[in-house]
Each structure stands twice: as structure tokens, then as C-alpha cells.
Structure 1
Amino acid sequence: MLVTIPVVFHIIWNQPDQNISEAQIQSQLDVMNKDFARLNADTVNTPAPFKPLGANTQIQFCLAQRTPDNQPTNGITRTQTNVVSYARTDTNMYYTSLGGIDIWDRDRYMNCYVVNFTGDILGFAQQPGGPPQQDGMVIGYKYFGTIGTATPPQDKGRTVTHEAGHWLNLDHIWGDEPACAQDDNVGDTPLQAGENGGCPNFPLTDACSPNAPGVMFSNYMDYVDDACMNIFTLGQSTRMNAAVAGPRASILTSNACQPVGITPISSEVPDNFVLNQNYPNPFNPSTNITFSIPKSSFVTLKVYDISGKEVSVLVNENLQSGTYNADWNASGFATGLYFYTIEADGFRQTRKMILTK
């Protein structure tokens, strides 16, 4: 089953360059979705003995479309702070009263804070079971996304991929102990004595895996450069999905990926893709659009004016099979003819509607 986790990015900034662009944030979300689906282009760099272990985790991420109190959002908050930088032990970013921003409900959102760190810290995250008011991940703004302030060799977005793994209950691949006694609790990752950095040559062996193929330094849960990590294993996928089914199960019922105005009206699996005529039509100022999807799909529902210009995006997310209702409030739009188009898994259909005032 495909799981889509709503993400809110909290940008905590002191200097203007730390207030990173929406495009940089989108670049990070794109990396996460590719890495977790094993659609990243650099899967070709996974050493041959480990390629059969590469996993499409069936976990994806969306920018939150609604706030905890059901107001529209783009999934990004921006907070100017007097805090110049944060140390690894700091938790002030989690609290509005301390110059940060209070965490959004951890049962409905993955919270990702982007800050300026002191020193060379890349990021950290809380695994399931910790304090709810600090249940998120924190990333240095220089190690986030693939454009803007992203700084080599951490400029491929893998710091967030790594920390999202922790949030979903993965341990470091070496088990956080410089010996062979402690494992990462995943059966298909080789034992490893300690962390790896830089960009090692394959095969890399150590005291815990002394024979080829050696350790899996290309795993997202190691510490190598962004360009040299490229794999979650099947075992890691199982562990993350167990977290989603267990301590993170509340995320499955979150509606935060659905824009305000998108309402599931039936979970019964329809036979076909269907886009119904809006009602009422003509309308002023709002109308309802009902559509059905027979299987889990990435769905877009967009509104265009008579010139073909896109004027509104009603749906842009993964949806489970079922029937949905989307509301379009056309206040502020001119009287006239509009078109709405749905696209999902190869299905595409357009209908027209008339706004009268």
C-alpha cells in the first residue's frame, strides 16, 4: 500500500540567506520522493551485489495543504528569530516562546525544521517514542535540497532522506557502536564497525564485514557524501513500514495532504476513473467537482481560463482509491467560461463550467 506522509517545513532564519526559497524546498521534497521510491538516477551506482536489495519503500511525501486548524497552507512556515545559530543539543527551535515555532501535531505531520547550525552538524531527528513537542527533524540550511544554499558535498538532499529514515525508526547502519556487537536491527544490511565518510571505493571491508562485498557504505543511513549514497534496503523498507503501521500509524488517517475543500465521500472502490460535471453549473461564486479513482494514484485537478492559462490547482497529490469532492471558490475571478482537467495514472479528462456574477 502506498503511504503518503504530510510534511511541513519550518524555516527558522536569522539572516536573509537562511530564509530559503520555495524552489529549494521543492527540490528537497523531490529528492525524498525519488529516494524512497528508488527512482533516484544514481541507483546505477549501487554496487552490483547490493542492487537486488534496493527497495521501493512505498512511502511518499507531500507538502501539507492544511494547517492543524484546517486553514489552507503551502506546507511551509517562516519564522525570523534572534537566535544566531543552534547547537546539536538545542531544542529552542521547537518552541514559539523561545524564538522557534511550536511543532504541528506529530500525529498528522512530519515536521522538518531548517535552521542555521553551529559547527558542522548536518541534522538530527527523533525516532518514534520521544517527546511529542520535539518529534521532528532538524536540518542545517546549507545541507537542504539541491539548489540555493545547498553546499557540496551535502548538496543532493540526502541529509533529509537520512533523517527521515530515523523519523521512521531506522538506526544508523553501523548500530551506533564502534564494534560488531550492536547491529541496526535490519537483517539485510551487513554488519559494520563504524561510520563511513567521504566517497569510499567498492568493495570496502572492515572488522565486522572482512570479506567482499564488505559494508554497504552507499546506504542512506551511513555518513558518506550525498553523491555516494543511493539505497534503502528491503529490510529497511520493512522496518519503516512497520513504524508507519505501528508507532506512526496515526499518520495514515491524516488529511493534511488534502487541500481545504477536498473531501473523501466514499471509500468504495469504483470501477473506472470518472470526472463528473461540476454542480451547480453555472455557479457563483463556488461549485463542487466530484471525481472517482479506481486505484491509488497521483492525481492533479486543475482549473484553466478560456485562454488555457492555469488559474487554480485543486488537487496535486497521491490519493487512495475512492470518490472525492473538490470545492472551487471562484471569488475574485472574472465571469466567463472555465475548464477543469483531471489527470491520474494515464487518465485525462476535461470538462467546462461557467462562472456568472
Structure 2
Amino acid sequence: MRRTLFTRDHEDFRQLVRDYLGREVVPVYEDWRRAGHVPRELFTALGELGIIGTAVPEEFGGGGVQDYRYNVVIQEEAARAAVTLGGLRTHLDVVLPYFLALADGAQRARWFPGLASGKLYTAIAMSEPGTGSDLAGITTKAVRDGDHYVLDGSKTFITGGYHADLVIVAARTSIDPDNRRAGLSLLVVERGMPGFSVGRTLDKLGLTVQDTVELSFDGVRVPVADRLGAEGAAFSYLGRNLAQERLAIAVGAVAQSRAAIDRTLEHVRDRRVFGRTVAEFQNTKFELAAMSAELEAAQTMLDAAIAALVEGELDGVDAARTKLFCTEVQGRIVDRCLQLHGGYGYILDYPIARLYADARVSRIYGGTSEVMKIIISKSLGL
């Protein structure tokens, strides 16, 4: 179906991203996969090209255009090339919005030029070993000591933490026995601060190039000047960007589903069994036809949600509906595509195997499918 979401500027940007990925990333991607993370130089290179600074104000070297569609293009082109760009999605779609919304004038002057150029790379640390999605249960604490906070605790499942120069840490700065959500603050911890250490890289089922690490904070002295927003207001801040975070996961789900179908079409047209190509069997035709219809339904729903986000009208319920539907579609499509590859689909040399492994987390992070159903059911008065 014809998409009307993008303008000529977006399509020019798409060509820039596509050319860069084909020239600089695809030829070395297997090296990145073996290393378990992307090289730090990737983000500087993307910054030099203007790919990751589009939303940063012009006065700090960015593009000055807060248009989420540019982020969509990056995800779509990465999926098309069958590559993962480390934690770049988290940096752009999840972390950067906090800086743009909450940084004061001094913080903007310190950090925004690096965010625009790619010299500063970010992560966000919310999840803890004992809390998971229960942000109100955060136990990492920060005690005020003059012009600093003394930060102690640990975080896990931190995407992009391996390379991060700035980490937004959700920490408890006070306790209100009557309100578990009160008393949380956002502190920006800078790489190299004494007591801040990056722990082991977690060995995951999929997304092997997207580093996921543990972080620990042992008496880290964080300047009060490095706090984002007001003290004790973090819970409300964390909820503001959830719609975009969940939409970003849906964008990846649909883009990777399309990549899975495209790769499968190539395979079934080339692969011959019993004297015929796999594409000639009726079951293959029916399976791919059904997947194509389901993908177009997901794409149409997703594009409507993206348009709503760009207009500032996407609410949490519609973001939950979009994430739920698109990620569930992704799970079905990549599974069926792998099946059509036969034994080759189980070999990691084939992109479909990696797409299959990568897809599983889409229904978990950013809020599980079950959490999405809870949000949707509440909107129905249930």
C-alpha cells in the first residue's frame, strides 16, 4: 500500500543512510557480530554525516528539527540492510528526548554539541536486578551532600552502557511511605566518575551487536548540576516518553518483518527441492500472501501512530495498541519465514536466523505484551 508518511527531505535522508550502511557497515558487520558490539567510532561518523543530530538545536550544531520520522528512516534502513546499529535506537528514541526536554541552559551548553556530533553517546539506567519494570521499586539511592549527590546501587539490562559517555540514572533521593512513586530523581553520571563501573556484558539470545551491560555505583559523587529536572519528579518524567519508546519498538518490529519477508522471497525463488523452486509450491505462496497482508495491516497502523506522534497527539493507549499488534505480528512473520528457509533458517550465517532471535525481545522490553494488554483493557473500562 502507498505510504504518505515521508516528505522529499525524509527520502533524501533515507538515501544518505542507505548509502552509508551499504558502504561502511554491511562489509564489516560480521566483525561487529563476533566482537559483540559496534565500534565507538560508528557514532562519531554518524554525527559527522548529520544522521544522529537532527533533533539537537542548530545553535549546538544539530539539525534543529524534532521530527521523529528521521529516526524511523534509520531503523527501516538498518533492517533493510540486515544490520543492528548497537544501542543507537535507545540513544535517539529513548535517552535523547530526556535531554531535550529537561536540560537547563548550562547543561545544554555542556552536552548538546557532543550529542549533535556523536562525540557524546548516552544510555539510561532504570532496571535493577530486583525490580524489572517496577520503577517505583527502585532502590539505587542518591544522598544529598552539599553540591553533590552520593550515588550507590546497581542497574542491569542497560542497552548501550558499554560505550556510553553519559548515563541517565534513575535513583531514589527521598522516601515517601505513602507514595512509592515519589522521591525518584534523574542524575547524569559521566564516564570516568570515581566509583562508576561498567560490569559484564550480558550474553543474550539475540541482538548480539547491541551491547547490554550491568552498571554499578559505589559512592559516586554526582554534582547537583548534573541532575535533569526537579528533584523527586523522575517518575512523571519517565512516563512522558513511554509512548515514543514503545512506538520505536513497533517501528523496528515492522521494519524487521519486512526484511524477513524480502529475504524469504529471495530464498524461495532460488532454493530448489523435488525439481521445483520452493516458491512454486502452493503452501509457500499462501504463507507469503498471508504474511504480506498482515504486514501491510501493521504498517498502516504504525504509520498512523507515527503521524500522531509527530503531531503531538499519540497517547499511551494507542502506543500500547501499536506495540502489542506490531510485535506480535513480527513474532508470527519471522517464525513462518524461518520455516520456509528449512534447515538453512536455523544457521546463523543466514539473516533470517538472526532476525528470528532478535525478534523475541520485542514482546518483552519497553513493557511486555501482557503490560500492553493491561493498559489497553483499562482504557476499555475493564
Q: What is the TM-score with the length of structure 1 in the denominator? A: 0.28
Q: What is the TM-score with the length of structure 2 in the denominator? A: 0.27
